[in-house]
Amino acid sequence: MKYANFCDTGRNNINIGDYLQFLATDYLYSLLDISPDEIVYLGFKELENYNGEEVVFPFCYSIIDFVVNGKIAISEKIKPVFFCVTLSTIDKFMDLDEFLSDEYNFKYLLEHSPVGCRDEITYNILTKYSIPAYINGCMTAVFPKYSGDSGKKVIFVDAPKALLPLVPDSLLDDCEFSTQQYHFSDSDITDYRKIFNFVKTKYDYYKKNAKIAITSRLHVALPLAAYGIPVVLAKDNVDGRFSFIEKYISIYDKDNYYKIDWNPSVQDFEGVKELLIRHALGRIQNNIDKVVLERMEQELTDFFKQRTITTEYRESHKITHKNGHKFDEYAEEFWNKNAPIKYALWGVSENNSLYWKNHIESNYPNAKLVAVFDSFREGELFGLKYQHPKKITEYADVCVIVCSVGAGGAAVQLFKKFNVDKSRYCVTSDCFITENDIRKVRIIAE
């Protein structure tokens, strides 16, 4: 029996936090002294038809990427060990009850139970269907505490722009800006170690240089907290996938930004980290008595459920990659349901293109998609060729809906540069603080 891990998501535009979850699995393997030649690395698209040697595969990811035509599509040669599953994104594409009422899906999850859940929503759904489950949170909490010298820099990583008026001046003196969104070439994906090394280097930099991190990203906040670095986690809208993290650190939504503690203490969660690791290693090796494992799983579930809830969790499908509510607010102000409207999409992905088209055209039946824009993608979508965003100026009578986090900042700058009226565009993703924003604040202050 060999072991397996993910090596790529099959996407060029990635959030490197996804890959940190893969590195967390590699870290667990290192604790078991499992050598690289015992590990089979598989891309997302390979799981359905994998036909190699049987492998034990720790799953620390959403299951949505492995559902085809409504059914879980994972090769029989793969023995999944579900640690950090979330079902809260399944509802982007299908009804959750329909998914779990499907006989195959139900039996598959039951056969490979207990299912470790990243969030309480997933736990409640599975237990409702009598599928053994427990709350595990995210495995990026297991990285060891950093023992080197403390960093000197304030690092903003995709920090919401709405925070800017509230950030103390003392945190703007020696600050840096980073992002979790990057574009990688096909050759980078083929040689997955390039991306693994890039991600490792990025987090090593955070670990050694940050005296505090300000971010909207779960996979920045949690691993940095595990390293022992103070973190401010702020996100305009918070969905249920983040629920578990309140046991580790505070999370603030936009309505509570005024409550932010800008000098957060470092929480000590070495005890639960040790429990997570001990439990994970036992499940991977299948060498701990079932009663002992169940006791550990109950302890983890109790740990995450006994927390102070300070935020209101929105439905994930209204937040994750979609932010349909932002479009709804924009369209209510500027669009007429009965009028013909030409629109374009900027930054849609394979995960959300159909969602956006259906969401827009079901609410505005006279809307017509006439163009798609992207800085990196080539080919076609819905019979339309991808065009570079600089071509937007050629579509004077078209409303542009910006759908991705990576495109949000660039879109705002482009629309401002060409004085595009606000009725002609909607940025649905969160916009983040940049170095230019800080420069403007300092100019005003002077």
Identify the band that residue 317 occupies on the pLDDT scale cut at 50, 70 and 90. Answer: very low
DSSP of 63-84: SGGGEETTEE---TTEEEEESS
Contacts of 429 (CB under 8 A, 6+ apart): 323, 347, 402, 403, 404, 405, 407, 408
- Do the strands 380-381 and 384-387 form a parallel or antiparallel pair, or are they unpaired? antiparallel
Among the listed residues 343, 374, 371, 347, the one whose alpha carbon sits nearest the alpha carbon of residue 359: 343
Per-residue pLDDT, 247: 92
Q: How far apart (Å, rounded) are the C-alpha atoms in residues 304 and 442?
A: 41
Per-residue pLDDT, 185: 84
Mean pLDDT (the chain) is: 90
Per-residue pLDDT, 442: 63
Which secondary-structure segment (H or E) carries 157? strand 153-157
Q: At which residue do the structure tokens 């100026």 appear?
A: 393
Q: How far apart (Å, rounded) are the C-alpha atoms in residues 3 and 53?
A: 9
Residues paired with residue 234 on neighbouring β-strands, in sequence order: 252
Residues 32-49 pLDDT 10s = 999 999 999 999 999 999
Residue 294 has pLDDT above 80, yes or no: yes
Q: pTM for this one?
A: 0.85
Residues 146-166 pLDDT 10s = 999 999 999 999 999 899 999
Residues 255-275 pLDDT 10s = 999 999 999 998 899 999 999
Residue 289 has pLDDT above 60, yes or no: yes
Residue 321 has pLDDT above 50, yes or no: no
